[in-house]
C-alpha cells in the first residue's frame, strides 16, 4: 500500500487492529468493534486485549506483537495512561497508520500538550501517521470500514466525504443523518487535536479520491490556513466544497479554545479566504446537513432558476420570497411549458411560476396534476430545479386512510428521466404522512425538507458551489 502520503492506510485499510478492544458493552473498545461488524467490513480485524480470548465472536490477541501480520491500520481505544505504550507497540510492530481516539491531551492541559508533542515526535521518526488524538475515529464506506467509538449503526454509502474537526460533532450527527435523513457518506475523518494528519492533507486526499464527489467540513480552526486554502482552490474546481466554520463570534471563540485547543482566527479574514478558495460557507449546523443531503441525492443545479409547484398560493409566495432572498430566482416558463400547464388547468386559472397546482388537482387528481406539471417544468430549458411542495393529509378526519407512498413514485421516475435537473420536495401536513413520504422519497434519492425554506437554502449553497467549478 503506497502513495497519497500514507492516507490510503486509513481509508483503504485491508487489515485493522483495535488496541484496547473491550468486552464491555458501550465502552469505546467495544463500540468500535460493533461498528466494524455491523457494517460488514470484509477484511481482517484483530482485537487486541491482554485479558480477553474472544470479543464479539472475534479471536482476540494479547498484544499487537502477536497479531499474525502487520495491520494497515491500528485503532487506539485505550485510556490516556496507556496511549504512549500503545503508540510504542505500533512502532515496534511496524504499523504505519494509527487512529488515536484517546483524549486527555492538548485539549485538557499543558501536560497533555507536552504528551501529544512527544507522541508525534516518536511517531514521525518511525513513519507512523496519526489521526487524532481526541477523535471519535474514521469511516470509509467504499470498503465498509466504520471505525468509530460512537455507536453508528449500519451506515449507507454516499458520494459526500466529511472532514470534521471533532469526532463528537460528527458522531451523533452521522447517526441522525443515517436514521433521520436517510443518506450515507463516502469517507469521514474526525481530526481531533490533529497532531499529524490535518484538514489540508485530508482535503487533498479526498480531492483526488474517485469515490468522493463532494466534500463537507466542520472546522473550528486551521492548522495551516495557507496550505488549506491552496488545496481548496484546486479541489473546488472539480468538487463542491461546503463548510461550517464555527467560532465566528467572541462567545464561539472562547468555547473553541476549551474544546479542541484550536486558535480561532479573525472571522472576516476566514470568510474572505474561504470564498476566494471556493469553499461555500454554510451558516448553521442544520444547514450543513441539509446541503449534504442535497449533494448526496441530486446533481448540482446548472443555474439558479427554480420552478415551484405548490398546493397553496401562500406557500408559493413564501418560496418565491425565499428564492430571491437566497440568490435563486423563480424561472420564467417557456411558451411550451406555459401551454402544457395551461392545458392542465381550468380556463379560469392564471398559470404562472410558482405553479399553484390546486386548480389542476381539482380536474385531474393530485398525483396526475403534480406529475404533469413537474414534467412540463423539467422539460423546460429555462428551469434548473423543480421544487414540489406537497401537502399530505388524510381526506377525512373521522376515517383517515393510510398514505400509499408508492403514489409518489412518479417523482423519482421523473428525476431519473431528467438527470441533469435538480428535483426536490417539501412537505407539510400530517406528521405520519410527511414522514412516510420522506422515507419513501429519500430512499429513492429525492431530498425532502420540512417545510420549504431549508431546502431552498441548501439549493442556494449548492448553486454557489457550481459557480466555483471549472466546466469539464
Nearer to a second copy, 355 or 423 (CB): 355
Q: For residues 310 and 302, what is the distance between their CA atoms, to the nearest angstrom?
A: 22
Which has the closest alpha carbon to 280: 239, 328, 338? 239
Copy the grid coordinates of residue 50.
491482554
Copy the grid coordinates of residue 299.
446533481
SS3 315: helix
Which has the closest alpha carbon to 282: 266, 294, 298? 294
Nearer to a second copy, 51 or 258 (CB): 258
CB atoms within 10 A of CB 346: 10
Q: How far is the CB of 463 from a second copy (least distance, A)?
A: 16
Strand-by-strand arrangement of the 187-190 sheet: 145-148, 137-140, 187-190, 160-164, 214-219, 241-245, 280-281
Nearer to a second copy, 38 or 84 (CB): 38
Residue position matching grid coordinates 468522493: 212
Q: How far is the CB of 403 from a second copy (least distance, A)?
A: 13
Which has the closest alpha carbon to 390: 456, 353, 434? 434
Q: How far is the CB of 271 from a second copy (least distance, A)?
A: 13
Nearer to a second copy, 304 or 415 (CB): 304
Nearer to a second copy, 123 or 152 (CB): 152
Q: For residues 100 and 226, what is the distance between their CA atoms, to the nearest angstrom?
A: 26
Nearer to a second copy, 35 or 296 (CB): 35
Q: How far is the CB of 267 from a second copy (least distance, A)?
A: 9
Nearer to a second copy, 127 or 153 (CB): 153
Nearer to a second copy, 461 or 468 (CB): 461
Q: How far is the CB of 228 from a second copy (least distance, A)?
A: 19
Q: For residues 448 and 111, what is the distance between their CA atoms, to the nearest angstrom?
A: 48
Q: How far is the CB of 125 from a second copy (least distance, A)?
A: 29
Torsion of CA 80, 81, 87, 92, to 10 degrees: -160
Q: DSSP class of residue 156?
A: P
Nearer to a second copy, 104 or 225 (CB): 104
Alpha helices in 345-394 (DSSP H): 358-364, 366-379
Q: How far is the CB of 436 from a second copy (least distance, A)?
A: 12
Which has the closest alpha carbon to 352: 360, 459, 456, 419? 360
Longest CA–CA separation in the chain, Å: 82
Q: DSSP class of residue 397?
A: S
Crossing angle between the packed helical segments 285-297 and 167-180, to the nearest 10 degrees = 50
Q: How far is the CB of 308 from a second copy (least distance, A)?
A: 9
Strand-by-strand arrangement of the 129-131 sheet: 44-48, 15-19, 73-76, 97-100, 129-131
Q: For residues 257 and 57, what is the distance between their CA atoms, to the nearest angstrom?
A: 42
Q: How far is the CB of 321 from a second copy (least distance, A)?
A: 4
Q: How far is the CB of 146 from a second copy (least distance, A)?
A: 9
Nearer to a second copy, 240 or 331 (CB): 331
Amino acid at each position: 500500500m503506497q502513495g497519497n502520503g500514507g492516507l490510503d492506510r486509513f481509508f483503504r485499510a485491508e487489515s485493522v487492529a483495535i488496541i484496547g478492544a473491550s468486552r464491555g458493552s458501550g465502552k469505546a473498545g467495544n463500540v468500535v468493534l460493533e461498528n466494524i461488524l455491523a457494517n460488514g467490513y470484509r477484511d481482517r480485524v484483530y482485537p487486541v486485549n491482554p485479558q480477553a480470548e474472544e470479543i464479539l465472536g472475534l479471536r482476540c490477541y494479547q498484544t499487537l506483537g502477536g497479531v499474525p501480520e502487520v495491520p494497515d491500520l491500528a485503532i487506539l481505544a485505550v485510556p490516556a495512561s496507556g496511549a504512549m505504550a500503545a503508540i510504542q507497540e505500533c512502532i515496534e510492530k511496524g504499523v504505519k497508520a494509527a487512529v488515536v481516539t484517546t483524549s486527555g491531551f492538548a485539549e485538557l492541559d499543558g501536560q497533555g500538550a507536552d504528551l501529544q508533542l512527544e507522541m508525534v515526535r516518536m511517531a514521525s521518526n518511525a513513519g507512523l501517521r496519526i489521526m487524532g488524538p481526541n477523535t471519535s475515529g474514521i469511516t470509509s464506506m467504499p470498503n465498509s470500514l466504520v471505525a468509530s467509538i460512537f455507536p453508528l449503526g449500519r451506515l449507507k454509502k454516499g458520494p459526500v466525504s466529511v472532514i470534521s474537526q471533532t469526532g463528537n460533532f460528527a458522531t451523533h450527527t452521522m447517526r441522525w443523518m443515517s436514521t433521520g435523513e436517510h443518506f450515507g457518506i463516502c469517507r469521514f475523518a474526525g481530526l481531533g487535536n490533529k497532531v499529524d494528519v490535518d484538514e489540508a492533507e485530508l482535503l487533498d486526499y479526498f480531492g483526488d479520491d474517485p469515490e468522493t464527489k463532494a466534500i463537507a467540513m466542520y472546522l473550528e480552526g486551521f492548522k495551516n490556513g495557507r496550505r488549506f486554502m491552496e488545496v481548496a482552490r484546486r479541489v473546488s474546481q472539480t468538487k463542491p466544497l461546503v463548510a461550517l466554520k464555527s467560532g465566528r463570534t467572541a462567545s464561539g471563540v472562547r468555547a473553541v479554545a476549551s474544546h479542541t485547543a484550536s486558535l480561532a482566527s479573525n472571522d472576516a479574514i476566514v470568510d474572505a479566504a474561504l470564498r476566494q478558495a471556493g469553499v461555500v460557507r454554510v451558516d448553521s449546523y442544520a444547514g450543513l446537513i441539509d446541503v449534504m443531503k442535497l449533494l448526496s441525492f441530486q446533481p448540482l443545479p446548472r443555474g439558479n432558476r427554480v420552478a415551484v409547484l405548490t398546493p397553496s398560493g401562500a406557500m408559493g409566495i413564501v418560496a418565491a420570497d425565499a428564492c430571491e432572498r437566497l440568490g435563486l430566482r423563480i424561472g420564467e416558463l417557456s411558451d411550451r411549458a406555459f401551454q402544457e400547464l395551461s392545458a392542465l388547468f381550468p380556463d379560469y386559472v392564471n398559470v404562472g411560476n410558482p405553479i399553484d397546482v390546486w386548480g389542476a388537482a381539482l380536474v385531474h387528481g393530485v398525483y396526475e396534476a403534480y406529475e404533469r406539471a413537474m414534467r412540463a417544468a423539467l422539460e423546460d430549458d429555462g428551469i434548473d430545479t423543480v421544487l414540489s411542495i406537497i401537502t399530505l393529509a388524510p381526506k377525512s378526519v373521522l376515517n383517515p386512510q393510510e398514505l400509499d407512498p408508492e403514489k409518489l413514485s412518479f417523482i423519482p421516475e421523473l428525476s431519473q428521466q431528467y438527470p441533469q435537473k435538480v428535483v426536490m420536495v417539501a412537505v407539510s401536513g400530517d406528521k405520519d404522512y410527511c414522514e412516510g413520504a420522506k422515507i419513501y422519497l429519500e430512499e429513492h434519492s429525492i431530498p425532502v425538507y420540512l417545510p420549504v425554506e431549508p431546502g431552498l437554502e441548501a439549493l442556494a449553497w449548492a448553486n454557489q458551489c457550481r459557480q466555483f467549478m471549472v466546466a469539464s
